[in-house]
Structure formats: structure tokens, C-alpha cells
């Protein structure tokens, strides 16, 4: 046990990290920016391991009072049509819609028609975790310093299909590799806010999606930098990690399986209308992997849940990232297990840095007094990148030259999909 809740912090990175230029012309690198952004990690000593940290999330708290306005987007993907919901952080309002999460209302057509702007405020695009949404407390804690008490960021949350009381208009829910909606939204944001530097952050399953998206975009990624928090990285390894212990299977996997069954019930009419999902089979689901077997493999066309996990995993995508990228993980995370962390991939890609803490659990990091640690490195890193670093000077070369310590002379395609979409 770490002494009195003081977690150890370590960094995995390339031998020669990505060079960066500050706006004043001085030189630094990605590792130095990350090290300066990450404060000491002092956890609540009563929550002295990952299980206590993670289970404490069940304690109800109000969290920061973030207000949203929602817009429904029509998906432009030829195969995966339908709609998805994006919640934009807005000033306090009282126009709540009962059918939406707390403090959330729909944009009126008139309001949304005037949303475009030529301002240069930094804008953060967030992705939540499994079956969650913009209302999640861990997410609101992370974005609150950016938008409250004088924070000058614009923030929005892309909700996974069917989540956060959004409607499913086709036969599919989310997918751990479904990068289409976030890609469409980033393109839209780039058009509507041409002068805003765009950044991304993902949590848990959303971290896996964000990592895959940034890897798929490579050197052409419209984002200036991105963060992945509590990423499961290798979904097959994480799934096996859940099933190997009693707590993993009978607590975490069961809770996530039940949450997904509830989500399915909310949208069963549309899902059953458009797919061959066996409803009785879904009713008998107990664990997360059973839900993936009964629903995800059928709706997305994977032969097994393990095939789905391997195809959707983001560990290889680390190799394709060409923007400054920070991952934050706790080594005692019982859901995104440490065995799934791709240390070697971080060690060969200078665009990436992995920060690990010895304590923290899954999306938890509870401090004494009920605060959380993870918003500090997230906001420090984002503010440093947005205010101190000359983002236009960041090199995105496929082969970084100079000292010759890192090269990408390979035909390995880290984001090649196994699932072919037949048009």
C-alpha cells in the first residue's frame, strides 16, 4: 500500500519526446509539458486501493453544476445512418427538458442557427464512458475548471448513440471502435468555428474511441492535442481481467452488464425492428461480455465478442498518433487493468506520453474531502497546450528526423480494421 494515500507517478514515453516550441520562441518537449502539468497525487487514505476508489463512485454527490444545450445530428455515414446527440456547455439556464439529463435542454432552431463563431477560444470535445453521458460526475469534474469561475474554454460532449437519454433511430447502440460520429462532429466544428483550436478528451470506453479516432486520422487529425483517461486499451485483455476475479466478474462486469440491459430496454423497439437480436437471449444476460455476445456481435457483424474486442482495441492506434497525446491511467484500476496498457507503443511514439498513478481506481482518484485528482493534470495539460505552445509549429512528419533516434520505417498499419463495411 502506498504510504497514507500518496500515489506514485510514473511516465512512459519515447527516448526523445516530441519537440515543442513555446509562443515566446523557447524550446521544450512533450514530456516536459506533461511533467509540469501533473501534480502530486494524494488520494484519500481510507480509499487505499482501486476497489475502494472505484466503488466510492456509487456514493451520490451533486458534482459541479454544468448546464447544457443539446443538438441532434443526422449521421452522414452511408452504412451507420441514424442520429447522435451532442451536448454543448452553456451558461446557467432554467429551460430544462424532463426527458433529458439534469440541467439540459434542447437548442431551439433559432439558437442553433447562430452558434457559429469566428472567435479563437480553445474548444474541447469530450467522450464519456460506457453507457454514460454528459451528465457523468467524473466528466463534469474534469471540465468544470475550464468553463466555470472565469474559464474561457468552449466544451461539448458527443454522446454515444442511445446514451444520455438520446434516441436510437436505427438498430445500433455504441461501439468501442465507432469513430464515425466523433469524426463527423469534429469536421462540423472545424467548419463552424474556423479559428478555434480543437482538443479532445475521452474517458474509459470514450478514451478507447478517442484514441482510435486520433490514430485513424494520423497526421491529418484536426485536433491539436488529445487526452485518454482510464483507457482499457486492449479490450480482450481487460475483459479477461474482469473475469479472472470474483469482484471483477460478480461486481464490475455484472453492474456494467445490467446497465447495458437497461439501456437496451430503453431502445428495444428500434433495435429489434432493424436487427436480428434475440430478445430472450438479452433478457438472460448477466455480465458485460454476455451483453456484447448477445447484442454487439449481432448488430455490428462480429463472429464473437473476442473478435469485437480485438478489432475495437486502441492499443495499436497509439503507433499512428501524430498529435500531442497524453494518457492517464491508474495501475490499480480494476476495470481498465494494467496488463492492457501498451507500454511499448508509448515508448516508440514521441507524440505520446503515458502517465500512470499507483492508486486511483477507475475514473475515481478521490482525494481527501471528496475532490478528484484527475481534473488537475487534464486541465493543466490542456491550458498549457492552448496558451503556451505554438500549436502551428508542431511537426506531424511521418518520419521524424534529426537525431535519428526514432523512425517509422514500417509497413505495419496500426489502424487497419478487420471488420470490412460492405456498402
Start-end of H helices in 367-416: 375-387
Going by their DSSP bridges, the two strands 352-357 and 325-330 should be labelled as parallel
Which residues are the active-site residues?
A: 204, 333, 362
Strand partners, 42: 6
Contact 315, 411 (CB under 8 A): no
Q: Which CB contacts under 8 angstroms, 24+ apart, belong to 245-250?
A: 245/334, 247/51, 247/334, 248/334, 248/335, 249/287
Q: What gap in Å lies between CA 335 and CA 287, rounded to an integer? A: 13
From CA 206, how far away is CA 195, in angstroms rounded?
A: 26
CA distances to 101, 107, 213 from 70, rounded to whole Å, are 10, 6, 23
Residue 190 to residue 195: CA distance in whole angstroms: 8
Helix (H, G, I), strand (E, B) or coil at 27: strand
Long-range CB contacts for residues 174-178, cutoff 8 Å, separation at least 24:
174/130, 174/205, 175/296, 175/300, 175/312, 176/205, 176/208, 176/209, 176/235, 176/308, 176/309, 176/312, 176/313, 177/209, 177/212, 177/311, 177/312, 177/417, 177/419, 178/80, 178/209
CA–CA separation, 154 vs 123, rounded Å? 5
Beta carbons within 8 Å of 64's beta carbon, 6+ residues apart? 140, 141, 143, 144, 148
Cell of 335: 476495470
Q: Is 114 exposed, middle or buried (0-12, 13-18, 19+ CB in 10 A)?
A: exposed
Amino acid at each position: 500500500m502506498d504510504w497514507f494515500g500518496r500515489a506514485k507517478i510514473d511516465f512512459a514515453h519515447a527516448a526523445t519526446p516530441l519537440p515543442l516550441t513555446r509562443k515566446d520562441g523557447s524550446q521544450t518537449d512533450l514530456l516536459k509539458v506533461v511533467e509540469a502539468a501533473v501534480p502530486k497525487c494524494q488520494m484519500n487514505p481510507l480509499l487505499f486501493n482501486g476497489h475502494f476508489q472505484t466503488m466510492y463512485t456509487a456514493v451520490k454527490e451533486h458534482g459541479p453544476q454544468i448546464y447544457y444545450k443539446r443538438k441532434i445530428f443526422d449521421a452522414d455515414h452511408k452504412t451507420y445512418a441514424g442520429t447522435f446527440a451532442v451536448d454543448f456547455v452553456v451558461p446557467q439556464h432554467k429551460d430544462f427538458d424532463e426527458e433529458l439529463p439534469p440541467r439540459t435542454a434542447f437548442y431551439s432552431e433559432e439558437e442553433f442557427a447562430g452558434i457559429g463563431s469566428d472567435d479563437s477560444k480553445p474548444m474541447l470535445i469530450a467522450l464519456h464512458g460506457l453507457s454514460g453521458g454528459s451528465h457523468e460526475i467524473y466528466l463534469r469534474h474534469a471540465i468544470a475548471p475550464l468553463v466555470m469561475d472565469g474559464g474561457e474554454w468552449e466544451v461539448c460532449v458527443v454522446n454515444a448513440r442511445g446514451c444520455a437519454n438520446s434516441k436510437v433511430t436505427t438498430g445500433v447502440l455504441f461501439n468501442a471502435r465507432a469513430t464515425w460520429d466523433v469524426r463527423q462532429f469534429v469536421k462540423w466544428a472545424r467548419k463552424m468555428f474556423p479559428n478555434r483550436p480543437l482538443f479532445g478528451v475521452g474517458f474509459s470506453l470514450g478514451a478507447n474511441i478517442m484514441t482510435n479516432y486520433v490514430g485513424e486520422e494520423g497526421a491529418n487529425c484536426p485536433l491539436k492535442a488529445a487526452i485518454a483517461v482510464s483507457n482499457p486499451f486492449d479490450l480482450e485483455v481487460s475483459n479477461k481481467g474482469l473475469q479472472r476475479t470474483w469482484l471483477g466478474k460478480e461486481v464490475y462486469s455484472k453492474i456494467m452488464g445490467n446497465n447495458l440491459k437497461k439501456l437496451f430496454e430503453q431502445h428495444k423497439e428500434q433495435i429489434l425492428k432493424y436487427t436480428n437480436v434475440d430478445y430472450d437471449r438479452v433478457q438472460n444476460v448477466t455480465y458485460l461480455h454476455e451483453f456484447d455476445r448477445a447484442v454487439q456481435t449481432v448488430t455490428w457483424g462480429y463472429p464473437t465478442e473476442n473478435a469485437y474486442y480485438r478489432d475495437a482495441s486502441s492499443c495499436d492506434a497509439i503507433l499512428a498518433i501524430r498529435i500531442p497525446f497524453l494518457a492517464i491511467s491508474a495501475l490499480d484500476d480494476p476495470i481498465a487493468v494494467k496488463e492492457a496498457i501498451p507500454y511499448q507503443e508509448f515508448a516508440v511514439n514521441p507524440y505520446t506520453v503515458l502517465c500512470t498513478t499507483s492508486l486511483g481506481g477507475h475514473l475515481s482518484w478521490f482525494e481527501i474531502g471528496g475532490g478528484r485528482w484527475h481534473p488537475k493534470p487534464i486541465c493543466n495539460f490542456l491550458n498549457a497546450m492552448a496558451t503556451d505552445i505554438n500549436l502551428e509549429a508542431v511537426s506531424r512528419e511521418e518520419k521524424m528526423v534529426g537525431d535519428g533516434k526514432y523512425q517509422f520505417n514500417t509497413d505495419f498499419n496500426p489502424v487497419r480494421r478487420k471488420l470490412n463495411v460492405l456498402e
